[in-house]
A and B are shown apart, each in its own frame.
Chain A
């Protein structure tokens, strides 16, 4: 083949340009075609409200969210059900003008301080005493309430009763026992313990610090986690990690109970929301324990996660958005009850509703509620996403990569202090 006949030299470059052009165009179209959920303006003079949820794993939740939205008559509410990395999508949505008007998230001081969300004191005023002090505190910045708690989600360790019996061990009450039990349960293709894709370095970062008796921040927002106890906690966690009994690389992360229900692991860190699914799969063959305490000042820990609803300061009509939030998460107690107990299990943050939630008053669910009340630790709104990442990197470096825990704690301290300066 002679060179003259052959257009190949330009082929590479041209096809490359063409290909990259197509990719760019596709990306551009995708960016423009994103459904902002805003419809074509307001229909019939009603306000249009865009409401964002992260993707709940339990069947029926999306239909329920749509049903609530449809039942609201004073505005057209469109629901965006966001799969994948919800926090990232929400963050970029809130900076752009295509963000949600009403959304669910976790308490975050930066959102309040930078004026991305508006205070909701006026709509919660009448029922404030019906929420627990801790829920309100977790959503308050400088004395103003920024979020209405929708659900409380305690997280703890699930274990298979039958597998523990077979191995002749009791549910762990200390961290050393946890390591030991995990070792004994790791046999026959079933791993001992599942703490998620990152070996617990993400989801257990805060609970691990609490379990050593330390705190993340002091009450006046200074670094508090840099204690010898935390270093000890990291060493214990490293011991657990290097025991080779952790399940790693499962298809789903810690928040999904599949690894546990499908018998890939004998124990798993997960939340109350997964309990109905676990009950369905395993019947009574499971129990729960808190994360055991570590060291002399150690204490057993349950992580009280959960979701709250917020109103964006960039909402087209902030008052209409607030009115909708008041209607759904304050007035419509039937819907709130449905949301908390009809799909996954969540503890209703309203005392009056929690008292009526019969599904949570017996069996393991009741145990979970008790753990939530007695051993539960809430998010601190001053512990921002950036600080979470810093502490997770600290745990990951010390536990997974085996770096020196003392220097990792010191490094994390410096970085968290820099973050604190930003919000001071």
Chain B
């Protein structure tokens, strides 16, 4: 860049020192300013987007959370921390946190174990590798809404001609109202299976990638030293080597569980027994409630919780440390 600029005075340009010097100065600066400009060209739109679509809404949310913002996003009645106090006293929001906790306790370990098992199977397979990888990954491409509808209307339909009930009927078992009953809470089966079906493939791919990164030499060395293939090498080589990925997977799974909305919203009616935080906040703020004050307070509490859990997890498992 600089080599061009030094010889850059156009032939035939006026010899007066003023403009030429200016031009030179401009061009000399071009190298540095050019890279600055390139930086802003690449980073600018994303920073602007981040600012406009993330930081401004978060800031506005905080502002709203301090006001009584009923049916308006430009409130006037300041209430201080009342909204936070309301939302943190025992009620539907705290209930929703318990619902989420239960959901996470079921779905996170289950996905983790099944995704790892699936990855191990697919990793060892010798025939039709690409087929098996894609066949398990394809559901990830399906929309949560569509999957929820299929689960609700055809598979776990509560009437006698639903798929699951038809199968039960072959064994002479009475139809089960899958999503309409809390004792026994069959709706958990529906909620968990739809999420498993949708997300297993994605986490399987993450594990598969990590499995393929484990150097073969490690296994060979272990075998030479007399380790038996199977459980022993899995426990002492495979699992430790998967540590980074495992931590990332757990973190991603937890956050995904926190964000649970689609399947709850689409599978179940708005009931207090199965309402995770986001669904509750949706009904409070964006839905019929239009209570943006309490909604924003809840959203910020939820964000704080997610941040805390992530940091805590980083502390415990040392997320990111293994890489460096």
Does A29 count as interface, using CB distance less than 8 angstroms? no
Do A415 and B177 touch (CB < 8 A)? no
B72–A114 touching, CB < 8 Å: yes
A95 at interface, CB cutoff 8 A:
yes
In the complex the two chains form, is B283's CB within 8 Å of A116's CB?
Answer: no
Stretch at the interface among A6-14, A118-126, A359-367: A6-14
For A388, the chain B residues whose CB sits under 8 A away are 288
Complex Cα–Cα for A169 and B286 (A):
47
Beta-carbon contacts under 8 Å, A234-290 to B: 247-251, 253, 259, 264
A386 touches B273 (CB 8 A): no
- Chain B nearest Cβ from A246, distance in angstroms: 8
State whether B212 touches A396 (Cβ < 8 A): no
Asked if residues B273 and A3 are in contact (CB atoms below 8 Å), the reply is: no
Which of B155-163, B230-238, B311-319 binds A?
Answer: B155-163
Decide if A248 touches B180 in the complex (CB within 8 Å): yes
Main DSSP-derived SS at the A contact region: helix
**Segment at the B interface, from A39-47, A194-202, A340-348:** A194-202
Q: A111-B71, A249-B157, A249-B158 are in contact. Are A91 and B212 (CB under 8 A)?
A: no
**Residue of chain A at shortest CB distance from B291:** A386
Number of A-B contacts (CB under 8 A): 123
Q: A8 touching B159 by the CB < 8 A rule?
A: no
Interface residue? B153 (CB, 8 A): yes
Quick one: which of B86-129 are within 8 Å of A by CB? 86, 91-92
Provided the pairs A8-B208, A249-B158, A264-B159 are in contact, do residues A393 and B71 lie with their beta carbons within 8 angstroms?
no
State how many angstroms separate the Cβ of A317 from the closest Cβ of chain B.
22
Q: Contact mask B121-159 → A, CB, 8 Å, 1/0?
A: 000000000000000000010000000000001001111
Q: Does A2 contact B (CB under 8 A)?
A: yes
Smallest CB separation, A18 vs chain B (Å): 12
Closest approach, in angstroms, between the C-beta of A140 and any C-beta of chain B? 19
Q: In this assembly, does A402 line the interface, its C-beta being within 8 Å of a C-beta of chain B?
A: yes
How far apart sit A393 and B209, CA to CA, in the bound complex (Å)? 46
Q: Does B61 contact A (CB under 8 A)?
A: no
Among listed B7-15, B17-25, B264-272, interface-contacting one: B264-272
Given contacts A88-B282, A249-B181, A401-B182, 6 further A-B contacts (CB under 8 A): A9-B210, A12-B206, A91-B287, A248-B180, A249-B178, A249-B179
Report B's interface with A, CB cutoff 8 A.
Answer: 68, 70-73, 86, 91-92, 140, 153, 156-160, 162, 177-183, 202, 205-206, 208-210, 212-213, 215-216, 269-273, 282-283, 286-292
Q: Give me the 5 closest cross-chain CB pairs, A-B, nearest first.
A: A249-B158, A248-B180, A8-B209, A248-B177, A114-B71
Q: Can you list 16 A-B contacts with CB-CB less than 8 angstroms, sorted by A residue number?
A: A2-B215, A19-B140, A87-B287, A91-B286, A91-B288, A114-B71, A116-B71, A189-B160, A198-B180, A247-B159, A249-B156, A249-B157, A249-B159, A385-B288, A389-B289, A393-B92
